[in-house]
A and B are shown apart, each in its own frame.
Chain A
Amino acid sequence: MNRTLVFAKRNIIEMSRDMLSYIFCIAFPIVMLLIMTLVNESIPAESGMTIFRIDNLAGGVVIFGQTFVMLFTALSVSKDRSGSFLIRLFATPMKSGNFTNGYILPMVAIAVVQSLITFVVAFIISLVVSYDLSPAGLIAAMIAIIPSAIMFTAIGLIFGTLFNQNAAPGLCSIIISLGSFLGAIWFDAESTGGVLLKICRCLPFIYCTKAARAAISLDFSMDAFVIPELIVLGTATILTVIAIAVFRTRMKADLS
């Protein structure tokens, strides 16, 4: 456990000194909140379109932000793997679990901080546009999004372990686009329906946004929250197990 924390601390320091992490993990979600709120203001109320209303928007943007945490995980891991730094650590008493947990923990912590900042900004926006956003819902959502944070971190760890510094970010961008589209972050999949909704339902992303939005509006019913949250939790568990196995296998191969 202790070596895990030593390594986690190193990863946090490395990231905290990289400007890009602030831009992608913090500035970007805030900018999206602001832009989409402006878009929402220009949508006529009669249209009945609520996807960019601040409660729905906050739930979407917080998941969108997590896709960048995934990108960052992939970048850090692939960067570490490209140099000799990990190799030298392989010659120390550190075990593969110290590495994987040491990567995952700080990323999940960053996702939680990111959600805090996103929700604080969302709350301020809600005051400005006079929409009733419950602080209790936002706090509940901060906890509800932890499984999806773990899920995206695991995907990042898998990509960062399997692919090099050039390929990993590219693959992450695909997941970012796919995740934000099929996660129904920027459009209302339920009312669109059809094949698109079916595809969305086959992937985990839509359940992330669904659970986050339900938590924000304090709707903890089976359909709106419990089932989506359980699906995300299950996916996160499976992907984390896969990520740990992939890293261990790769580490063994590196040492063969």
Chain B
Amino acid sequence: MNAIITEGLTKRYKDKTAVDSLNLSIDEGELFALLGVNGAGKTTTIRMLTCLSTPSAGHAKVFGHDVMAEPDEVKRLVGISTQDTAVAENLTVYENLKFMAGVYMSEEKGKEAEKSISDRIENIIKMFNLDEVRNKKAKTLSGGWKRKLSIAMALIGEPKILFLDEPTLGLDVLARRELWKIIEDLKSKVTIILTTHYMEEAEALADRIAVMISGKIVEIGTMDELEERTGKKGLEEVFVEIAGRN
């Protein structure tokens, strides 16, 4: 099944077209990377797909639900880790996770629900190795820990699609590598749309890569396909070649 389909998806600001007629189709279970420099329109695309921004034209469907007509359904299916880390600063790691779990699971009540919430939190803590900081306030965490928490919070509602907007932006090499590993482990469990301007990140993680320039997707395909089409080796060379043509 298609996790995401867009047709002519466009976002215009006053004097600027941030996203220009995007036609995309992303399969369930895929890890899809949107690659582009700053200002290419990656965040705007993600915002439209998560009901955080209304498209100016075109359509987008998330597991068959239109982002404009059925926002409530879409919101239940997506988890987003925004470009800037978004956590409640004075809450501990555990409290942040519990808070988000409450937001998603507030309809479920009783002992069983409580058990399943706490099981979920424990699983996520294990997956992200958050145990040693579980009782630390978010504001005391380093950038890497905070980012991990922010992503963990996006997963606690068990979304079918996880949006990661520049997940490793501003992290040091070790924190980045650790996050890559976590993302690889997540691959089998959830459809992931990831944006990045790091070539090596897209190359290391993505099943398919879309190269975005000035709001348009100018190339899309697997790494092999992109190399074949451009006749270059390695994503950096491929990207330079594509950017040069556009």
Let me know if B57 is at the binding interface, CB within 8 A: no
Q: Could you tell me the dominant secondary structure of chain B's interface residues?
A: loop
Instruction: Indicate if the CB atoms of B82 and A84 lie closer than 8 Å.
Output: yes
0/1 per residue, A2-13, Cβ < 8 Å to B? 110011011001
The B-contacting residues of A in range 5-63, CB under 8 angstroms, are 6-7, 9-10, 13-14, 17-18
Instruction: Indicate if the CB atoms of B80 and A13 lie closer than 8 Å.
Output: no
Residue numbers in A under 8 Å from B157 (CB-CB): 92
Instruction: Indicate if the CB atoms of A17 and B137 lie closer than 8 Å.
Output: yes
**Pairs A–B under 8 Å by Cβ, sample size 25:** A6-B102, A6-B106, A9-B102, A10-B88, A10-B91, A10-B99, A14-B90, A17-B137, A83-B84, A84-B82, A84-B83, A84-B86, A87-B86, A88-B153, A90-B52, A91-B51, A91-B78, A91-B80, A92-B157, A93-B72, A93-B75, A93-B76, A255-B52, A255-B54, A256-B54
Instruction: Indicate if the CB atoms of A83 and B91 lie closer than 8 Å.
Output: no
Let me know if A89 is at the binding interface, CB within 8 A: yes
Instruction: Indicate if the CB atoms of A91 and B91 lie closer than 8 Å.
Output: no
0/1 per residue, B97-118, Cβ < 8 Å to A? 0011011101100000000000
The B-contacting residues of A in range 85-99, CB under 8 angstroms, are 85, 87-94
How many residues on the B side are at the interface (Cβ–Cβ under 8 A)? Answer: 33
Nearest 6 CB-CB pairings of A with B: A84-B86, A6-B102, A2-B106, A88-B86, A84-B84, A17-B90
User: Within the complex, what minimum Cβ distance (angstroms) separates B79 from chain A?
Assistant: 8
A87 to B154 alpha-carbon distance, docked (Å): 12
Residue numbers in B under 8 Å from A17 (CB-CB): 90, 137
- Option from A83, A89, A255, A256 in Cβ contact (under 8 Å) with B103: A89
Q: Which residue of B lies closest to A15 (CB)?
A: B90
In this complex, the interface size class of chain A, counting residues with CB under 8 Å from chain B, is: 20 to 34
User: Within the complex, what minimum Cβ distance (angstroms) separates A98 from chain B?
Assistant: 9
The A-contacting residues of B in range 46-97, CB under 8 angstroms, are 50-54, 72, 75-76, 78, 80-91, 95
Q: Which residue of A lies closest to B72 (CB)?
A: A93
Q: Could you tell me the dominant secondary structure of chain A's interface residues?
A: helix
Most B-side CB within 10 Å, residue of A3, A18, A91? A91
Count, A-B residue pairs, CB within 8 A: 72
0/1 per residue, B16-33, Cβ < 8 Å to A? 000000000000000000
Q: Chain A residues in contact with chain B, CB under 8 A?
A: 2-3, 6-7, 9-10, 13-14, 17-18, 83-85, 87-94, 255-256
A251 to B95 alpha-carbon distance, docked (Å): 25
Instruction: Indicate if the CB atoms of A85 and B103 lie closer than 8 Å.
Output: no
Residue numbers in B under 8 Å from A90 (CB-CB): 51-52
Residue numbers in B under 8 Å from A2 (CB-CB): 102, 106-107
Instruction: Indicate if the CB atoms of A87 and B104 lie closer than 8 Å.
Output: no
A93 to B159 alpha-carbon distance, docked (Å): 12
- Option from A13, A93, A256 in Cβ contact (under 8 Å) with B53: A256
- Option from B54, B80, B89 in Cβ contact (under 8 Å) with A88: B80
Instruction: Indicate if the CB atoms of B82 and A87 lie closer than 8 Å.
Output: yes
Residue numbers in A under 8 Å from B51 (CB-CB): 90-91, 255
User: Within the complex, what minimum Cβ distance (angstroms) separates A241 from chain B?
Assistant: 25
Instruction: Indicate if the CB atoms of B88 and A91 lie closer than 8 Å.
Output: no
Residue numbers in A under 8 Å from B153 (CB-CB): 88
A136 to B67 alpha-carbon distance, docked (Å): 56
Instruction: Indicate if the CB atoms of B90 and A6 lie closer than 8 Å.
Output: no
A76 to B187 alpha-carbon distance, docked (Å): 37
A9 to B102 alpha-carbon distance, docked (Å): 10
The A-contacting residues of B in range 194-231, CB under 8 angstroms, are none
Residue numbers in B under 8 Å from A92 (CB-CB): 75, 100, 103-104, 157
